Amino acid sequence: MKQEYVKAPELRFHGGFAGALAPFLLFLTGVAWLAWSGAPDERGFWPLLVLALGLGLALAIDRRVYSDALVRGMSQPIVALMILAWLLAGLMAEILSAAGFVDSVIWLTSVTGVAGAGFVVVSFLLCCVVSTATGTSLGTLLLCAPLLYPAGVTLGADPAVLMGALVGGATFGDNISPVSDTTIASAGTQGATIGDVVRSRMRYALPAAAVALIAYGFLGGSGTQAVPQALTLSAEALPLALAPLSTLILLLTGRHLVHGLIVGVAVAAVMGMLLGLLSPADFIHIDPGSFRADGILLAGLERGVGVSVFTLLLMALVGALAASGFLDALLTKISKPARDHAATEWTIFGAASAAVLITTHSVVALLAVGPLTRQIGERQGLTPTRRANLLDLTVCTWPFLLPHCIPTVLAASLTAGVASQAVTTAPALSPWTVGIHNFHSWALLAVLLLAIMTGFGRKADRPGDP
């Protein structure tokens, strides 16, 4: 989904751009501290973001303009879409978990002999297929992680490596799928055709995926862990696979993500009751003693609260920084004419990396640096396909590695939601741990750097070439 920030050039800070950047630097410093301290989920980021927003208010010259910029950043359609997706996906995951679907997945994999590293490899490939078919990395994580993560850990997979494989597989499709928002944005901003971009991008994505697959196979776990006695394994909940499958089918046929998730929730609820695994009272009931409502519906929605609050506060911070004009000034500074192809490509990589680091969002970064990339790339004769590939490869690495970005925070949040169920041994992981073990994105970054240094793919990335 394309989006554009409503610029607010009148927003100024004491200290100029240094004052505009100070809140974000405070946030990044706090993220680094929490990451090294082993913060288990995104809730630890909330106070940091509130402090950063408060610092921005103190430094803003016109506090009303600053406040308006925060609200604009939070109220973008892409933010609303992400929050609604978090909530609905958490609801579907809770229904499936309560009905015993994870137990049945564990039963199926145990009887087929897939465990440990083998389960990690299969999970990576499955996420590659789902993300390529749907074009959404976050949607892939929302569909696959709540099911595969607890099952894999129970069957002896290394938790961190398994979650890294799930994120890596989600990244794969985000990078190469013709319906991915990053593919569409990178090709569109450079005037390249999507077909040429997808075909040429395989030469970068497939070697990275092969390296990652080998790493997941060697480091994925021994597969010797015993199934907890608390789990009663059977195949009775396997028909509930129709719920995430229905969501996937709707996405493949071009339906909206929210449409697919709502249908998935409905299918999971209805089938759970038809199979006798759930009762209407399980979904919501009143506890007069504690003066509160309880049940699957509330617990499912609560799964998405942590990452939703994080997203709102983060996008408010990004909105204020964008409205200050800092990003425009930074890109203008970076765009000094380069002497040759390699220098131009390093400039494109640096600009896209800086935009991702600051905005934490792939498509926002692409839209921010797209015009600059086209301008300096055309000047040096880089083809539209090459420019699009450089951009897309860059934005499909950092957000899936850095602990303050939405994909890693979402992945950590999903592990925390699984751990809170207390029916498996799956632990909560920090965003830092998730990013470190995403071997695919690390391999993709290495391929990108080698491509710039050696010129690999530079002449081949031309329209119509295989």
> Is residue 431 domain-shared with residue 297, that is, in the same domain?
yes
> Is residue 265 domain-shared with residue 321, that is, in the same domain?
no
> Is residue 421 domain-shared with residue 295, that is, in the same domain?
yes
Task: Please give the span between the terminal C-alpha atoms of the chain, in angstroms, as a whole number.
Answer: 28
4 found inside a domain:
no
Q: What is the spatial distance between Cα 311 and Cα 437, in angstroms, rounded to a whole number?
A: 23
Q: What does each of the 466 residues of the chain score in pLDDT, given as a tens digit?
A: 444 444 445 788 998 888 888 998 888 888 777 766 655 556 777 888 899 999 999 999 999 999 999 998 888 787 787 788 778 877 887 888 788 776 777 677 767 777 888 889 989 988 888 788 667 788 788 878 888 898 888 888 999 999 999 999 999 988 888 767 788 788 888 888 888 888 889 899 999 999 999 999 999 887 655 554 444 556 787 888 888 788 778 876 777 778 888 998 899 899 989 988 888 888 887 777 666 777 888 888 887 787 788 878 888 888 888 888 887 777 677 666 556 788 889 989 988 998 888 777 787 778 778 877 888 888 888 899 999 999 999 999 999 998 888 888 888 888 887 766 655 678 888 888 999 999 999 999 999 999 999 989 887 666 554 4
Q: What is the spatial distance between Cα 415 and Cα 41, in angstroms, rounded to a whole number?
A: 8
394 found inside a domain:
no
> Is residue 254 domain-shared with residue 332, that is, in the same domain?
no
Number of domains in the chain: 2
> Is residue 49 domain-shared with residue 185, that is, in the same domain?
no
288 found inside a domain:
yes
Q: What is the spatial distance between Cα 389 and Cα 203, in angstroms, rounded to a whole number?
A: 11
Contact 390, 349 (CB under 8 A): yes
Q: Which domain holds residue 96?
A: 78-306+401-447
390 found inside a domain:
no
pTM, full prediction: 0.75
Q: What is the spatial distance between Cα 300 and Cα 20, in angstroms, rounded to a whole number?
A: 38
